[in-house]
Amino acid sequence: MSLPALLTQHIARRPQRIALLQHVAEQGSITRAAKAAGISYKAAWDAIDELNNLATQPLVERSTGGRGGGGARLSAEGERVLRLYQRLQTLQAQLLDAAEESSDLDLLGRLMLRTSARNQLQGRISGLRREGRHDRVSLDLGGGLQIEALITRGSTERLELTLDTTVVALLKAGWVQLLLEGDHVEAGSNCLMATVEQVLTDEDGPSEVRLVLGNGQTLCAFADEHWLTQHELDAGSQVRVQFHPSYVLLGVPV
């Protein structure tokens, strides 16, 4: 079984994140892997969440152990991806030798942009419906989960979106709203059940809430620390998340 095109391209563009898999395999801990990679614990979590979301199966299996982290190991799929990364390193060296001049690499870098959106969910287009100047795009995230995006007709055409196209849905953490039982769901909004995996407090701003969806993909949201404490929301808590379809940005491989 081949890797999804989106994950394969991510490996080529973000090798430092794939290299983190090697440290996880060697260290058996996200905390120690982050230290070995020279990045923060939070950055390591972000990298692993993004990789797991883009893969068809989780690459890293972990157990949460509080603020200090917990144990972690590569899944069979993670080990396979790591082997692929090691082969890509050889191909990368060949590419550098083949580049005619340094400006060639600068151009490629500009064409393959990174995004500031914290949440990246891989899905397959299961529906396309025209609504005036916009198209409502239904995305199947797997595991019985679906969300909708509302984009312009021009965007649909420019991205060449059709049924069964694989895309990445981009969503800023600030656009994800946490809901308690009984809270009103805005009409037309996406609403998903999620489990709180971890709450990271920040003295300078709102807390970061890491969430796991029913299909294993993850989301990040922000919430006021006092609100979280008041409603006793912590790891293991069940919540709903909502976000409007117009907040969902779509991306496809170039």
Task: Going residue by residue through the chain, which has 254 residues, state the pLDDT in tens, using 9 for 90 and above.
Answer: 455 555 555 554 555 777 788 889 888 888 899 888 888 888 888 888 888 887 778 888 876 554 445 588 898 888 888 887 777 666 656 655 555 454 555 554 444 456 667 888 989 999 999 998 899 999 999 999 999 999 999 999 988 999 999 898 999 999 999 999 889 999 999 999 999 999 988 777 799 999 999 999 999 999 999 999 999 999 999 999 999 999 999 988 65
**Coil, helix or strand for 241?**
strand
Cross-strand partners of 169: 121, 250
CB atoms within 10 A of CB 138: 17
CA dist list (Å): 32 to 23, 66, 188, 226: 8, 14, 43, 31
Write down how long the chain is: 254
* pLDDT for residue 68: 47
* pLDDT for residue 84: 78
* pLDDT for residue 174: 92
Cross-strand partners of 151: 135
User: What are the residues whose beta carbons fall under 8 Å from the beta carbon of 103, sequence distance 6 or more?
Assistant: none
* pLDDT for residue 1: 42
Return the closest-CA partner of residue 22 out of 65, 88, 62, 81.
81
179 and 237 in contact (C-beta within 8 Å)? no
218 and 211 in contact (C-beta within 8 Å)? yes
- Say if strands 238-243 and 249-251 run parallel, antiparallel, or are unpaired: unpaired
Helix (H) or strand (E) holding 31: helix 30-37
Q: Give strand ranges (E) for 132-206.
A: 134-142, 145-152, 166-171, 177-179, 190-200
Alpha helices (H) along 68-131:
76-98, 102-111
* pLDDT for residue 138: 97
Cross-strand partners of 250: 169
Structure-token pair, residue 189: 């909004």
**Coil, helix or strand for 144?**
coil
pTM flag (> 0.85): no
Q: How far apart are CA 66 and CA 121, in angstroms?
A: 26
111 and 130 in contact (C-beta within 8 Å)? no
